[in-house]
Chains A and B, each alone.
Chain A
Amino acid sequence: MARRRSASEVSYALVVGGLATLALVILIGPVLVVLATSFTDSRSIRFPPQGFSFRWYELLLDEVRSRQIHRAAGNTLHVAALAAGLATLGGTAAALALAEARGRWARVADAFFMSPLVLPGLAFGLAALMYFTLLGFRPSLELLVCGHLIVVVPFVLRTVGASLSQRDPALLDASASLGASRLYTFRRVTLPLIAPGIAAGGFLAFMASVDQVPVSLFLSSARTDMLPIRMWGMMESTLDVRVAAVSGTLIFVAFVLMLVMERFTGLTKRMRG
């Protein structure tokens, strides 16, 4: 459309475009830097990388020399799978109960479940450690699952809650008028409609658990080493380039999972809910 643009339109486009570019640079820049660094041929983490090789990825896959990293990764996946699984079940149940309930206690409960999102992770990690120790528990993977569960439940609660609020209440009336019991309505109407929200919440909970540092910091021990903690330790002691390789792997896996989730559930749409 050939139309003259006014000065204010041009300056508006410049400001918005400039901010968007800045945001992209800040978001994508570090990812590209760490990816590039992970393919370096040198022995130090430095940008720009010198040479190109897969040597750090090969070392990372070496079962003997990267045994500790493998164990930490195994622990992390174990905890993330359990925490995300339990969070999906519990969060969905809680979201359903909160959607049915009206009144003040429901809003209080909702705020309570969501509070780990705003509560400083370090404070919660310390509190959890003191509390669990007081109860006589030793650091274990189960304890880590408990800690992670609390901080990842909000993701499920939010995405499932958003799905439920988008469900037309008339559908429930329609189902009842057609002779369906509450259970039948849940199975045939509610569950299929909120399934993408449940999947998106589970995915977000899983990624949040994999990425979780503050709670792991307090609740993990040498036996229950977690990947982010191990990476931090490697950075502190040896500036090991394998940290960049681990980061590269995590970025790649997260990217692929994200594409899959986007394809099946419209993840970004649900996170806005």
Chain B
Amino acid sequence: MPAPAVPLRGHTLDVDALTVRYGGFTALDAVSLSVAAGEIVALLGPSGCGKTTLLRTVAGFITQASGRVSIDGAGIDDLPANRRRVGIVFQNYALFPHMSVADNVAYGLHARGERGPKANARVAELLEMVQLGAMAQRRPAQLSGGQQQRVALARALAIEPSILLLDEPFAALDRSLRLDMQMEIKRLQRQLGLTAILVTHDQDEAMSVADRIAVMQRGRIDQLGTPVEVYDHPATPFVAGFIGTTNRLPGTATAEGITLHAGATLALPHTLPPGSAAMLTVRPEQLTLASDPAPNAWPVTLGLAVPLGGQTVREVRCTDGTALRLTEPRRGAIRDLGASAHCRLAPGASPTLFPHTEE
């Protein structure tokens, strides 16, 4: 795969206290975010959380009520969308249906008046980069979804954007193709040193593509961190619930940890006032089953087990009625449905305690 003639240098993106309102509805509430040069940050959240609004405001399609967006430290708020040099890969690619693949890729160059052999060479080079050199004269409708996405990517890169915005780019792809394209986009982004923002509602996608993840909810960023940080140390109950599978165990905070309603006392570091209602959020792999009772284990009844790759996902029910999901190695002793066992934290697990509020 040939490297582009002029390697793109990463640019920094700073979003500072950005607020966007639609009528009375606040879509973005004083959001701040800094993306380092060459970094890819995923905006992750349910629909309506403001992630797409943030992307469209950076692109210049939406004007903010207040706050600043700057690239390399210089404000771009006064620039119209067509002067921002922000490349976008749209959800449905938004390829121009009446133009050939080559004309689509050349569009940004032509719009700036760049024509002739130099522009043609650049288009050919980009098409080679996304492995579509043979498809240059086809129409978008004649391409598969994955190929269309490569064209959209090549078209966005043709203008040598300072920032690349990816708006749910994998949502329309088949599951099998999705991982391939995620790898490819990540590889190109690394190779070209691009600064990028990925908008997605798919946590696996965010985990596999992004350097950092901004988990968004109701127009705010709940947590910004690496995939591992966000997964292992969720900052809010929302993040804990949105990323991965999470079990919630209610209890009462003590000086050293928590007493679960399910019937066990666990030693855990936390900052809650002793005696207050608390909620333990714990990942399936942070739980394990044992046969014998112990002070830090609580009785459960075994439910269904579903094999999932190398592991088995097991449902268990606590005495207080709480249902839990946990993973156990498949080679372990196969226990019967309805049998009694004891559940405890896996060695080394440090789940997070949150204050228990009625939601």
Query: CA separation between A177 and B83, bound complex, in Å?
Result: 8
Chain B positions 71 through 89: 1 when the CB is less than 8 Å from some CB of chain A, otherwise 0: 0000000001111111110
Residue pair B107, A177 in contact (C-beta under 8 Å): no
At the interface, yes or no: A193 with Cβ under 8 Å from chain B? yes
Give the chain A neighbours of B90 by CB distance below 8 A.
170, 173-174
Q: Complex Cα distance A178/B87, Å? A: 7
A192 cross-chain contacts in B, Cβ below 8 A: 98
Q: Are B111 and A171 in contact (CB under 8 A)?
A: no
Q: How far is the CA of A188 from the CA of B90 in the complex (A)?
A: 19
Cβ contact within 8 Å between B61 and A173: yes
Q: Is A173's CB under 8 angstroms from B96's CB?
A: no
Q: How far is the CA of A176 from the CA of B95 in the complex (A)?
A: 13
Classify the interface of chain A: helix, strand, loop or mixed.
Answer: helix
The answer for the CA separation of A188 and B86 in the assembled complex, in Å, is 20
- Contact residue among A173, A180, A184 (Cβ-Cβ distance under 8 Å from B94): A173
A179 at the interface (CB under 8 A from B): yes
Most buried by A among B87, B88, B92, B156: B88
* Minimum Cβ distance to chain B for residue A222 (Å): 49
A 23-62 contacts with B by CB, 8 A: none
Cα distance A188–B155 when bound, in Å? 15
A168 engages B92 (CB within 8 Å): yes
Which residue of chain B lies nearest to A171 when distances are taken between CB atoms in the complex?
Answer: B94
With A173-B61, A173-B81 already in contact, the answer to whether A178 and B111 are too (CB < 8 A) is yes
B94 touches A179 (CB 8 A): no
Given contacts A180-B82, A189-B96, contact A174 B111 (CB under 8 A): no
Give the Cβ gap from A107 to chain B, nearest Cβ, in Å: 19
Whether the Cβ atoms of A178 and B83 lie closer than 8 Å is no
B80 contacts across to A, CB distance below 8 A: 176
Set of chain B residues within 8 Å of A184, measured between Cβ atoms = 111
Contacts of B83 in A (CB 8 A): 179
Contact B61 A180 (CB under 8 A): no
Kindly state whether residue B59 has any CB partner on chain A within 8 Å.
yes
Q: Are A177 and B96 in contact (CB under 8 A)?
A: no
Q: How far is the CA of A97 from the CA of B69 in the complex (A)?
A: 31
Question: Could you tell me the distance in whole angstroms from the C-beta of A122 to the nearest C-beta in chain B?
Answer: 43
B112 within 8 A of A: yes
Cβ-based interface call for B159 (8 A):
yes
How many residues of B are in contact with the other chain, CB < 8 A?
29
Residues from chain B with a CB closer than 8 A to the CB of A180 are 82, 107-108, 111
Instruction: Take A173-B90, A192-B98 as given contacts and tell me if A178 and B61 are in contact as well, using a CB distance cutoff of 8 Å.
Output: no
Q: Does A115 contact B (CB under 8 A)?
A: no
The residues in A between 199 and 237 inclusive whose CB is less than 8 angstroms from any CB of B are none
Q: How far is the CA of A184 from the CA of B88 in the complex (A)?
A: 18
Closest A residue to B158 by beta carbon equals A178
Are A178 and B107 in touch, CB under 8 angstroms? yes
- B82, B98, B155: the one contacting A176 at CB < 8 Å is B82
Tell me, in angstroms, the Cα distance from A180 to B110 when the chains sit together: 9
Give the nearest-CB partner of B80 in chain A: A176
Which residues in chain A, 104-144, are within 8 Å of chain B measured between CB atoms?
none
Q: How far is the CA of A90 from the CA of B152 in the complex (A)?
A: 35
Residues from 162 to 196 in B contacting A, C-beta threshold 8 Å:
none
Interface centre among A168, A177, A188 (most CB of B within 10 A): A177
Q: B107 contacts which of A170, A173, A188, A193 (Cβ < 8 Å)?
A: A188
**Bound complex: CA A174 to CA B151 (Å):** 13
Is B96 a contact of A171 with CB atoms below 8 Å? yes
B159 to chain A: which residues have CB within 8 Å?
178-179
Q: Which residues from chain B contact A247 at a C-beta distance below 8 Å?
A: none
Flag if A170 contacts B94 (CB, 8 Å).
Answer: yes
Task: Kindly state the separation between the CA atoms of A225 and B96 in the bound complex, as whole angstroms.
Answer: 48
Q: List 11 A-B contacts (CB under 8 A).
A: A168-B94, A170-B91, A170-B94, A171-B94, A173-B59, A174-B94, A175-B82, A176-B81, A177-B86, A178-B159, A184-B111
Interface positions of A (Cβ within 8 A of B):
168, 170-171, 173-181, 184, 188-189, 192-193
Given contacts A174-B95, A188-B111, 10 further A-B contacts (CB under 8 A): A170-B94, A175-B82, A175-B107, A175-B111, A177-B156, A178-B108, A178-B155, A179-B85, A180-B111, A193-B97
